[in-house]
Amino acid sequence: MNVRQSLHSSWPVVALLLLGSLLSGCGINTIPTLDEQAKAAWGQVQNQYQRRADLIPNLVETVKGYARHEQETLTAVIEARAKATSIQVDANTLDDPEKLKQFQQAQDQLTGALSRLMVVSERYPDLKANQNFLALQSQLEGTENRIAVARRDFILAVQKYNTELRTFPGRLWHSLMYSDLPVRETFEATSPDAEKAPQVKF
C-alpha cells in the first residue's frame, strides 16, 4: 500500500476524530452533564429530608415521656411526617412541577410542626435536661442545616441547567438533540425566612 492509499483509507477515522473533538468542545455534552448534576443534587435533598424523617419517631417518643399533655402537638408532628414521607419525588419525576410543589408543601408543613414541638418542649425543664432529647435536638439542628445546604445546591444546579437550555450554544443543542429535557422548576421560598434553617436550640 502506498502513501496515497494509506492516507485515503485513514481519512474517515481522522474525520470522525476531528468531528468528535469539535462537538465535545462546543458544548454538546453540557446539557446532559448539567441534567445529571441537578438529579444528583436532588438526591442529596431527598437524603437529608429522609434523615430528618428518621429522627422524628425517637424525638416524639422522648417528648411523649415528659409532655403527655401535648398530645395535639405530638399528633401534628406524626401526621406531618407521614404526609411528607408519602410523597416521593425521584429523579424521574423531578420534571413534574405539581409534584415538586406538593413535596415542598409537605416538607414545609413538617418543618412547622417540628418548630411547634420545640416551642412546647420549652415548658418542660426535665425534658430539656434529658440527654437523649439533647442529642436528638442536636442531630435535628444539624439535619436542618444540611437540608438548607442541599436545597441551595439543588437550586444552583437547576439554575445552571436552565440557563444552558436558554442560552447559546445550549439552546441550539437542546432543540437539535435534547428537546425531551424540559426547563426545570426549583424550590420557591414560601416565607421570608425560608432560606434559614429553623432554630431548634434552647
Q: Locate 181 and state its grid cell.
A: 429535557
- Whole-structure pTM value: 0.80
pLDDT confidence bin for 196, thresholds 50/70/90? very low
Which DSSP string do the residues of 50-72 spell out, in sequence order? Answer: HHHHHHHHHHHHHHHHH-GGGHH
Say if residue 200's pLDDT is above 60.
Answer: no
Considering the segment(s) 28-176 as one domain, its CATH architecture is Up-down Bundle (1.20)
- Name the H helices within 26-130: 30-66, 71-86, 97-121, 125-129
Residue 93 vs residue 202, higher pLDDT? 93
What value does the CA radius of gyration of the chain take, rounded to a whole number of Å?
25
* Mean of pLDDT over the chain: 84
Helix (H, G, I), strand (E, B) or coil at 195: coil
